[in-house]
Chains A and B, each alone.
Chain A
């Protein structure tokens, strides 16, 4: 079930909760009886194991053992009888746990998983910083790291101020959602916040969603690297994550107009191939078109590659992103439901692996050399592709989705380069192009068996996100270009942004180690 779309919060969530409860009432009663039987069987089994040594040492105590087992069963019988009287929510919670009910407390585990997943998504920002630094020249490293440090910080703060409550607005017209800061007053920090469907506290939900918020701007940061002027970029990033992301995201996660797609099935976008990745990718495309290519990239109609300065950094970054993606997708299960989390971990990993292999295969055939940066982009492409459908893809499906994403990303990078759209890290191809592929893949039954989502609905959803992000960025970044300029001067670009924008070099190679 797509928890994300269904159980956001407040009126929506409680309505969903009521429907679910009605459906579950009968189910809960059956489960309670099943559990009683199972517990008894378990205890009898345990009893006979406990009894085994007694047989060896004192066979005449057999009768006593039987008594012991009976005594052990009694409290369980009482316990189950009490469970029948239990609070309905809690009974639903137990039912949700299924066969694992005896082993752990579902809610505590789920909430813990969600906040750990949030921390893993946080780590993705380090991954993005490394990839972007590694694939650009050393003279722009401080600038790139500065942008990334700013983006994660502004992303969290704007998500608290405008994002969270806008994303989960309850009743709104479905298109434009504006809301105030989230505060202690409107959030439930207990089980009552989301019940079974959203097994986490309000703050847990906030921090998990907030970690996603800055991603859109991070994607743009990579594409505009090495020539963008710092201050206008910071203003743009703030508006992108503080205004555009909450509004566009609410179409999907806030119960907005995307809910009507595919005949009311809604848009299938599990963890955000469209809402996060295509959003960032197409914002990046608009910015790059306004900004123009790096100096020296296209000379006399020829493409002159500008080499990244650190392949180790780029590799560390991509593998960190893959690690973080287990939190990005795995946390989007929105509980620690064993089936859901395991499925999503598997599909996520298989898609990343297949994406890497796909990109290696195609780039080696086409370019005749094994290009590391393409293998790395392929991994990310697979991850973006599986993000929309990680909870419905089959084993083979996830590998095919990744493999095709790996092909697509290579073709997309080459095509954009031919169009003189200069994207140093391949962000537009990885997040934009493969974001679209991930959304479309949700509608293909041979990849996602039994999918109720239609290809038209999926396409409308992802096209809407892409166009909205593109137009927003074109207008805002274009306005910034007119008002204050968005690009550094040629001299500054040649000197590197570390010197010209920050006066601080990342690698002060020839400076004396000790001064004075």
Chain B
């Protein structure tokens, strides 16, 4: 069976909840990175030694998971539920097609590899 990738950009303090929710529905692995960016939330101004500056890029966490097609919908739903605060800046989720997945140790392919 083919696989797809979920990329979720979320608020950093929501990572723990998202991870726990995903673990609960049986997802066994994910990759996380610290990222910065801006959307409609935009930045804000801060002051350093008397001069104002704009913080354009806000810190976010990007969660990447590759799942079998059948699990994608459930996965997205779980992340939305766990990461939502209802306030601006909650982030975005992207679902991407994946050509193939290979587990290096066993060389298994496709949904067996994820």
A interface residues with partner B (beta carbon < 8 Å) = 303-305, 307, 363, 366-369, 371, 373-374, 410, 413-414, 417, 426
Contacts and interface: CB of A to CB of B under 8 A. Distances in A.
B34 to A, nearest CB: 12
A367 B53 contact: no
Interface of B: 46-53
B50 A417 contact: yes
B49 A304 contact: no
A303 B47 contact: no
Nearest to A303: B51
B53 A363 contact: no
11 contacts: A305-B47, A305-B52, A366-B50, A367-B50, A368-B47, A369-B46, A371-B49, A373-B49, A374-B49, A413-B49, A417-B51
A314 to B, nearest CB: 11
B48 A373 contact: yes
B47 A414 contact: no
Contacts of B49: 305, 371, 373-374, 413, 417, 426
Contacts of B47: 305, 367-369, 371
Nearest to B50: A414
Query: Which has the most chain A C-beta neighbours within 10 Å: B46, B47, B50, B52?
Result: B50
Contact of B53 (A305, A410, A413): A305
Contacts, number: 34
A368 B50 CA distance: 9
Contacts of A303: 51
A307 B47 CA distance: 10
Smallest CB-CB A-B distances: 10 pairs: A305-B48, A303-B51, A305-B51, A414-B50, A369-B47, A305-B53, A367-B47, A307-B48, A373-B49, A367-B50
Contacts of A304: 51, 53
B30 to A, nearest CB: 21
Contacts of B48: 305, 307, 371, 373
A374 B49 CA distance: 7
Query: Which has the most chain A C-beta neighbours within 10 Å: B47, B48, B49, B50?
Result: B49
Contacts of B50: 363, 366-367, 371, 374, 410, 413-414, 417
Contacts of B51: 303-305, 417
A410 B47 CA distance: 14
Contacts of B53: 304-305, 307
A410 to B, nearest CB: 8
Nearest to A414: B50
A178 B23 CA distance: 77
Contacts of A413: 49-50
Contacts of A371: 47-50
A323 B53 CA distance: 33
Contacts of B46: 369
A305 B46 CA distance: 10
A366 B46 CA distance: 14
A410 B53 CA distance: 18
Nearest to B52: A305
B47 to A, nearest CB: 5
A383 B51 CA distance: 25
A417 B47 CA distance: 14
A86 to B, nearest CB: 60
Query: Which has the most chain A C-beta neighbours within 10 Å: B46, B47, B48, B53?
Result: B48
A371 B52 CA distance: 12
A432 B46 CA distance: 28
A366 B51 CA distance: 11
A424 B26 CA distance: 52
B59 to A, nearest CB: 14
A91 to B, nearest CB: 57
Contacts of A417: 49-51
Given A367-B50, A413-B50, A417-B49, 11 more contacts: A305-B48, A305-B51, A305-B53, A367-B47, A373-B48, A373-B49, A374-B49, A410-B50, A413-B49, A417-B50, A426-B49
B50 to A, nearest CB: 5
B31 to A, nearest CB: 16
Nearest to A308: B48
Contacts of A426: 49
B56 to A, nearest CB: 13
A135 to B, nearest CB: 9
A305 B49 CA distance: 8
Contacts of A307: 48, 53
B20 to A, nearest CB: 29
Contacts of A367: 47, 50
B58 to A, nearest CB: 15
Nearest to B55: A307
Contacts of B52: 305
B91 to A, nearest CB: 25
A193 B48 CA distance: 51
A14 to B, nearest CB: 51
